[in-house]
Amino acid sequence: MKNIAVIGAGTMGNGIAHVFAQSGYKVNLIDISQESLDRGIATITKNLDRMLSKGKIEETDKAKTLTNINTFTELSKGIPNTDLVVEAATEKLEIKLSLFKEMDAISGPNTILATNTSSISITQIAAVTGKPDKVIGMHFMNPVPIMKLVEIIRGYNTSEDTTKAIMDLSLKLGKTPTEVNDYPGFVANRILMPMINEAIETLYHGVAGVEEIDTVMKLGMAHPMGPLQLADFIGLDVCLSILNVMYDGFKNPKYAPCPLLVNMVMANKLGVKSGEGFYDYTISKKAEKVSDQFK
């Protein structure tokens, strides 16, 4: 594989594009908005500058990485002649199904179609394509340039060849691929999201305050970030979406999202990206500090 298309220039998409480009792959970064693409490239540049200041890369590495990325606002221009397409769009089933139908129609017969979904069924996504054997989950962790894990999720029809190709590719990116099967939430979020939801329930029932809950988990369980702060970093809307996928998939009440989480999302208190969640990011530089914990 030499040519990669990444769909979505948001937090995950620009991180995925960054990692591929830094590893020497030619990347077509695609988004419907040129403004989003510009923000994505600005984020990649900022992250490269941070790595440069810490002596992790040279100036030539930064230049080569940015040169390896081209931007497009149309799938029909960015996907043809690529070996792999990684979808990193909004975590909404209808959006992903629509994208995969289009991706399938304009990609080559041997192009692997991957999704960065953190919870949605790979089998269901693959079913709308004509090559379900070449559809796979490639779930990167945030922030992508730093975190080593990639969950590789096999759909019901994903072939052995496709799985091996993506496992090998992940290793070439300097990541640690871990193969899991296709069940709601996979492994990472099936374990993480109930913990975050329980932390929200603990707050909702008045057992302790936000900082107290996070302090217990950081100092008592050696977590680098408390669950409520982590939820802010992930995005409360994303947390709610994943919990709903698991609740719908398993029909088990333990995955039902806390009413406090539902209300906060309805009130647009989404965490770092909205400026307020369990913590207030509008008064201080807390959002930057949160991000810097991973860099």
**Using N-to-C axis directions, what is the helix angle for 259-266 and 188-204, rounded to 10°?**
90
**Does 273 appear as a known binding residue?**
yes
**Does 8 appear as a known binding residue?**
yes
Write down the pLDDT at residue 37: 98
The CA distance from 14 to 33, in Å, is 14
For 169, list phi and psi in degrees, rounded to 5. Answer: -60, -40
Tell me if residue 118 is catalytic.
yes
Torsion angle in degrees (nearest 10) through CA of 241, 246, 249, 254? -130
Which region, left, alpha or beta, applies to residue 233 given φ > 0 means left and ψ of -120 to 50 means alpha? alpha
Other Cβ atoms less than 10 A from the Cβ of 132: the count is 21
pLDDT along the chain (295 residues), means of 10: 96 97 98 97 97 96 98 97 96 95 97 96 98 98 95 98 98 98 95 98 98 98 97 96 95 97 98 96 62 46
Q: Which of the following is catalytic: 151, 170, 241, 276? A: 151
Write down the pLDDT at residue 293: 47
Q: Which of the following is catalytic: 14, 47, 118, 170? A: 118
DSSP type of residue 144:
T
The CA distance from 279 to 288, in Å, is 13
Other Cβ atoms less than 10 A from the Cβ of 188: the count is 17
Q: Which of 138, 180, 289, 279 is nearest to 224 (CA)?
A: 289
The reported pTM is: 0.89
**Does 133 appear as a known binding residue?**
no
**Using N-to-C axis directions, what is the helix angle for 259-266 and 236-250, rounded to 10°?**
130
**Using N-to-C axis directions, what is the helix angle for 11-22 and 59-67, rounded to 10°?**
110
**Does 96 appear as a known binding residue?**
yes
Write down the pLDDT at residue 295: 42
**Does 142 appear as a known binding residue?**
yes
**Does 12 appear as a known binding residue?**
yes
In sequence order, what are the beta bridge partners of 26?
3
Tokens, residue 14: 């620009």
Tell me if residue 139 is catalytic.
yes
Residue with tokens 């300097």: 174
Tell me if residue 102 is catalytic.
no
Q: Tell me the domains of the chain and their CATH numbers.
A: 3-181 (3.40.50.720), 190-290 (1.10.1040.10)
Write down the pLDDT at residue 285: 52
Q: Which of the following is catalytic: 18, 107, 139, 170? A: 139
Tell me if residue 87 is catalytic.
no
Write down the pLDDT at residue 294: 43
